[in-house]
């Protein structure tokens, strides 16, 4: 009886958000993602509860330059995946947008019919400050939708440099959406992006220059002296009229099967866990350092460094040594 009291006092706050997510409550999922975005301590507790129920979804990353048709493709893919009886979560990340929780224009359009569907969950996220935080938040949102039971989770992010590479690093299958037409278009496919691509899509193939762009990508891939086990296909689509999207979905599924059959999937997941654990430990150690640095000593060191009495390297070592001695 008594054990019920805390829950009663807390009422229907986020105490039981994780349970509600597991019971397929979309509002709870949305609420938890908001908590994750604001980096609330509570969010990590809830994510901790959800961990046991994650690891089942196929996570697909879709990235590429602004306006190449990513959202249109994701929309088409989601409908096709639903038609096969599978459920889909969509997280649209825009590192250049300060908007969160709601929808960016392009996403609002597709939301009309997809959000009416019980088996679909769509969420937009933007930066609230630092990019590292956005990548972490996106990863958390993926976990929520995975635990929710979505068979497929699509992470869409606009190509804006290093950030999209970091964000799609949470995906199992990465699709790069390019488009023909721009003279220096191929220049935007940077080395980092080439390496993470599992599938290339040249969308807007109704425009001139799609074959040329395909050849340029092929040429860039050909520069790699090692023949990869998985050779990224280069597809052409007209997402607006649904041309080629069936083939894209086939390739996405083929890639997933390849990952599973080759054992790459498990390795990839293990590597992700290693990285996450390292990042979390470093976060804790940073906070620990902030708590334990002797501020008086620190200020004295700053003055001594200014006065050229000591160098910063020796000073840092001494401050850390002090912390180590305190911990003993």
Ligand X SMILES: Nc1nc2c(ncn2[C@@H]2O[C@H](COP(=O)(O)OP(=O)(O)OP(=O)(O)O)[C@@H](O)[C@H]2O)c(=O)[nH]1
**Residues making contact with ligand X (CB under 6 A):** 66-72, 106, 158, 203-204, 206-207, 238-240
Q: Does 65 bind Mg ion (CB under 5 A)?
A: no
- Nearest alpha-carbon partner for 78 in 248, 258, 259: 248
- Nearest 5°: CA angle at 100, between 95 and 103? 95
> Residue 153: beta bridge partners?
59, 89
CB nearer to ligand X: give 96 or 314.
96
Q: Does 71 bind Mg ion (CB under 5 A)?
A: yes
Total residues binding Mg ion (CB under 5 A):
3
Residue 180 Cβ vs ligand X, minimum distance, rounded to whole Å: 10
CB nearer to ligand X: give 89 or 126.
126
Residue 207 Cβ vs ligand X, minimum distance, rounded to whole Å: 6
Q: Does 61 bind Mg ion (CB under 5 A)?
A: no
Q: Does 106 bind Mg ion (CB under 5 A)?
A: yes
CB nearer to Mg ion: give 73 or 235.
73
Structure tokens at 63: 């990235």
Q: Decide: helix, strand or coil at residue 42.
A: helix
- Nearest alpha-carbon partner for 26 in 124, 118, 112, 137: 118
Q: Using the rule CB under 5 A, give the single segment among 17-25, 71-79, 183-191, 202-210 that binds Mg ion.
A: 71-79
CB nearer to ligand X: give 112 or 261.
112
Which residues in 276-315 contact Mg ion (CB under 5 A)?
A: none
Contact, 201 vs 235, CB < 8 A? yes
- Nearest alpha-carbon partner for 154 in 94, 92, 202, 80: 92
Q: Which does 161 bind (CB under 5 to 8 A by kind): ligand X, Mg ion, none?
A: none
Q: Using the rule CB under 5 A, give the single segment among 10-18, 98-106, 129-137, 263-271 that binds Mg ion.
A: 98-106
Give 250-253 contacts, CB < 8 A, sequence gap 24+: 251/199, 252/60, 252/77, 252/173, 252/175, 252/199
Q: Decide: helix, strand or coil at residue 3.
A: helix
Q: Give the span between the Cα atoms of 270 and 162, in whole angstroms.
A: 23
Structure tokens at 168: 């799609």
CB nearer to ligand X: give 69 or 89.
69
CB nearer to Mg ion: give 54 or 115.
115
Q: Which does 28 bind (CB under 5 to 8 A by kind): Mg ion, ligand X, none?
A: none
145: Cα separation from own chain's centroid: 12
Q: Which does 238 bind (CB under 5 to 8 A by kind): ligand X, Mg ion, none?
A: ligand X
Q: Which does 204 bind (CB under 5 to 8 A by kind): Mg ion, ligand X, none?
A: ligand X
Per CB under 5 A, residues contacting Mg ion are 70-71, 106
């Amino acid at each position: 009886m008594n054990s019920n009291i805390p829950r009663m006092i807390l009422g229907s706050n986020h105490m039981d958000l994780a349970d509600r997510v597991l019971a397929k409550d979309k509002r709870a999922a949305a609420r938890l993602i908001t908590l994750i975005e604001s980096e609330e301590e509570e969010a990590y507790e809830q994510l901790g509860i959800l961990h046991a129920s994650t690891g089942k979804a196929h996570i697909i990353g879709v990235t590429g330059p602004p306006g190449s048709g990513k959202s249109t493709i994701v929309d088409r893919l989601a409908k096709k995946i639903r038609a096969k009886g599978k459920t889909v979560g969509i997280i649209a990340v825009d590192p250049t947008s300060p908007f969160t929780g709601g929808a960016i224009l392009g996403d609002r359009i597709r939301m009309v019919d997809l959000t009416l569907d019980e088996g679909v969950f769509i969420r937009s996220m933007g930066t609230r400050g630092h990019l590292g935080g956005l990548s972490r938040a996106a990863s958390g949102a993926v976990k929520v939708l995975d635990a929710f039971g979505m068979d497929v989770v699509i992470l869409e992010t606009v190509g804006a440099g290093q950030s999209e590479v970091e964000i799609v690093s949470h995906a199992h299958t990465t699709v790069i959406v390019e488009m023909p037409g721009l003279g220096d278009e191929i220049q935007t496919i940077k080395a980092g992006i080439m390496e993470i691509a599992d599938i290339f899509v040249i969308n807007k193939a109704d425009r001139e220059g799609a074959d040329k762009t395909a050849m340029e990508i092929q040429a860039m891939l050909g520069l790699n002296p090692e023949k990869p086990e998985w050779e990224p296909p280069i597809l052409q689509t007209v997402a607006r009229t649904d041309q080629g999207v069936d083939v894209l979905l086939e390739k996405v599924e083929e890639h997933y099967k390849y990952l599973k059959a080759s054992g790459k999937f498990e390795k990839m997941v293990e590597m992700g866990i290693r990285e996450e654990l390292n990042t979390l430990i470093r976060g804790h150690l940073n906070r620990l350092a902030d708590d334990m640095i002797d501020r008086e000593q620190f200020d004295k060191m700053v003055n001594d460094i200014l006065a050229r009495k000591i160098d910063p390297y020796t000073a840092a070592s001494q401050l850390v040594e002090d912390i180590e001695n305190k911990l003993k």
